[in-house]
Amino acid sequence: MGFMSRPPEQVASSPVLLGIALAAPLVGLALLLGIPSLDLRWEHHPSHFWLVSGVAVVNVVLGALVSEAARQRRDVRLFLVSMVLLASAGFLALHALATPGVVLAGPNGGFALATPVGLLIASGFAALSALDLEAHETTLLRLQRPIRIGLLIVVVAWAAASLFEVGFMRRVFETERAPWLLALLPLGFAAYAFAAWRYVGIYRARRRPLPLVIAMSFVLLAEALLVVALSRGWHLSWWEWHVLMAGAFAAILLAARHEYRSERSLVRTFRSLYLEGTLERLDERQSSALTTLARADSEGSIDEAAEDLRTEGFTGDEIAVLVRSARELSTLEGLLRRYLGPQLADRLSEDPRLADLGGDEREVSVLFADLANFTSFAEGRPAPEVIDMLNTYWSEVVPTLVDREGGLIERFAGDAVLVMFNALGDQPDHAARACRAAIAMRDASERVHAGSNDWPRFRVGVNTGPVVIGNVGADVHRSFSAIGDTTNVAARLQGLSTPGHITIAERTLREARSTGDGDVEAVPLGAVELKGKAEPTDAFELLSIGDAEASR
């Protein structure tokens, strides 16, 4: 129990302790079978019934909660994990009915064999959940309901066949050792072992406790299958597999409780198990919702926008966090408007026709930057702390972008910024300006990050080419925007960058070298595939520019 009470991340830091804990049940089984005098017989039917039925009920509830989170987030991996829980729990409940003298007058062969059958079915779901499922996600999402109904039909059919003693089920087994079932046990054991290995990999990538606990639980279920095959009915060795199953499910329940207390949301409790595609959708969804709420706050309609989010499936806890963050971001945006392009304001004063709808094509350099993993950082912290972090970063980088290099901030989006150089046609050295701004932005943010090393870091992309610049919208509301493939590619290059790094296009590098006053140092990344582009794009990592400190 001391081992189970330790935090999962603490257990993971001691692989020897973890190995001993997982090997202990097998060592105990070997002792009980090797020294029969130790394998005492204890046949107490009420204890067996209430232990097994209690574990089954709790596991059904846990499986239903996991299944609901999977439904809300349309995540295939989490759905398959829920099926592991539901399959094993459903057949475990049938095994409880096999207890003589409690529900049925005597033993029943079908109910007695239910547990290993459930474990075998669950092992298949466990192995499937550990595969790379992205390519088959759409198909599996369509099959969720049929799979749930199919499992229910199998459980009910098994129960009916057991009650009517169909075929082999009329035979009463001393233990769960039907020959055909024993032949399948190695496959189940291998499936659990494979799944556990893959979930350890997920834990190493995400460093959250739940994937590690899932892996440990699969190992315990694999050991339970082995004990089923070797134990003697109503002896301590037979009781061992009951304890192993209860321990596996209890570990998942405790880990989920630990995550829920941190996340305060059912769907976020299982976030560490989601597929990468699900996480990307969640980030986009949260970002879009935050932008919508921030805009609604500025228009005085945030309550209506929040209610709309509820109809889109956001939970009350999620909406409350988003509303608080949006209000803070809206306030921040108002405070930062002085940085959104004084040169544009000056030109509008000189030539009011610039406010007309429409636009002109112009050669520009576009800088796109955001804070990597900002959503994950913000969701786990109070809104004031997030806003303080953004304030600190923007106060460092905005003066460089606007005042020193003359960039025009086309928009802020929470943690992201899009900056144009030569937006008004007065910066022939726009590529060099963009590179200097990117370097200065990186260096300034790295200085801030050094003092708070758990804060997210900027990643930057820069591209050069033609865009249509002008005003889009309607008479009552419009925005000054840059539209075109150049902007899209800048965003894609930013997505390629890792935190603290800058990715630029080949044309940006060439023009910066030809128009700048110093050397530009960059490392080729080769031809990269960008979403939406038919042909690969040559990309470079920008390291330095000789006149990065020059004032323009």
Amino acid 198: pLDDT? 95
**What does the pLDDT look like over 56-75, one tens digit per residue?**
999 999 999 999 889 888 89
Task: Dump pLDDT digits (tens) for 256-272.
Answer: 998 888 777 777 889 89
Burial of 492 (0-12, 13-18, 19+ CB in 10 A): buried
pLDDT, tens digit, 9 for 90 and up, residues 470-506? 655 545 444 566 677 888 888 888 888 888 899 999 9
Q: Residue 517: how many CB atoms within 10 A of its CB?
A: 12
Does 411 score more than 80 pLDDT?
A: no
Strand partners of residue 483: 468
User: Does residue 360 have a pLDDT over 70?
Assistant: no
537: nearest Cα among 473, 479, 480, 494:
494
Mean pLDDT within 280-295: 82
Query: Buried b vs exposed e over 297-328: b needs ≥16 C-beta within 10 Å?
Result: bbeeebeebbebbeeeebbeebbebbbbbbbb
| In-domain check, residue 332 | no
Same domain, 393 and 420: yes
Whether 223 and 210 share a structural domain:
yes
Look at 16 and 276; give whichever has higher pLDDT.
276
Q: Is the pLDDT of residue 84 over 70?
A: yes
State whether 346 and 270 are in the same domain: no
Q: Which domain holds residue 311?
A: 278-326
Considering Cα of 111, then 253, then 215, then 139, what sign does the dihedral take? positive
Give the global pTM: 0.58
100 vs 30, residue with greater confidence: 30
Specify whether 373 is located in the same domain as 317.
no
Instruction: Kindly state whether residues 479 and 451 are assigned to the same domain.
Output: yes
Q: Are residues 216 and 350 in the same domain?
A: no
Q: Which residue has the higher pLDDT, 171 or 297?
A: 297
Would 65 be classed as within a structural domain? yes
237 and 316 housed in the same domain: no
Shared domain for 300 and 264, answered yes or no, is no
CA gap 313, 444 in Å, rounded = 39
CATH code of the domain containing 127:
1.20.1070
**Spatial separation of the C-alpha atoms in residues 524 and 366, rounded to whole Å:** 19
Task: Specify whether 102 is located in the same domain as 150.
Answer: yes
Q: How many domains does the chain have?
A: 3
Q: What is the CATH number of the domain that holds 369?
A: 3.30.70.1230
Closest CA to 241 of 415, 405, 58, 26: 26
Does residue 337 lie in a domain region? no
Tell me: do 397 and 307 sit in the same domain: no
| pLDDT at residue 552, rounded to an integer | 36
198 compared with 475, residue with greater pLDDT: 198
With a cut of 80, say whether residue 238 has pLDDT above it.
Answer: yes
